[in-house]
Structure 1
Amino acid sequence: MGNQKLYKGSLQTIILKLLAEQDKMYGYEITQKVKELTKGELQITEGALYPALHKLEAEGLLDVEVAKVGNRLRKYYKLTETGTTETVNRLQQMQEFLNTMQHLVNPKLGLE
C-alpha cells in the first residue's frame, strides 16, 4: 500500500492514542485494533511496532508490565504520567498538521 509511508510518521501518536483509550495493551492487540479501526487500510508490522514501542518506553512515555498468560509471558504497555501529557501534545500537533495539510490540498475549503 502506498499509504503506509504516509502513516509511518504517525505511528507513535497512534500508539499513544490507543493506550490513552485502552489503559494497557500488548503488541498484537495494538496491531489488530489499528487494523480494525482503519478497516484494514493500515496494517502495522511487528518490524515497525516494536521499535516504536521501545522508543516510547526509552523516552519515559510507556511502562511495561509482564503478565503470564497461559504458559507464556505477555508484555503489556501503558502510558506513564508523562506519556499521558505527551499524548495530549502529540494529538494537538497531529490535528494542526492535518489542518495545514487540508489547507494545502484543498485551499478552497478554508475560504468558505
Structure 2
Amino acid sequence: MAFEITGGDINDCTAAPELIAQLPSAEVIVADKGYDRERIREQIETQGARPVISRKRNSIRGNADLDRGLYRYRHLVENAFARLKHYRAVAFRYDKLKRNYENMVAIACGFLWLPM
C-alpha cells in the first residue's frame, strides 16, 4: 500500500502517476471515476496490472469492460478514510508541515491495521 499527501487544490490525476509507480507488484488497481484518464489506464497496463476504474458519465466507451465484482472492493478504501477521520489530528490537519502530517497518517493507518 502507498499514499501521497497533496494540496487541496491539486487534482487527483496529476498525483496518480507517481503513486502508481510506487506499486510495481500490484495485479489489479481499483480507483474511482476521478482517475478515469487513458494516460493512467495505460500506465497501469504497462506495469502489468489491470485497471478497474469506472468510466465517467460522459465517456464514449462505457463500462462494459468494468469488473464490478472487484470494483465493489473500493468501498473498503472509503471505509478506511471514514475510520481515519476518527483521529482528530488527521481529520483537522493540525500539523502545518507535510512530513509531519504524512507521519500522523501513517501512524493512524498502523493503528487501524493492528488487530483489535
Give the TM bin, normalised by the shorter chain.
0.3 to 0.5
TM-score where L is the length of structure 1: 0.33
TM-score where L is the length of structure 2: 0.32
Higher strand share: 1
Higher relative contact order (CA 8 A, sep 6+): 1
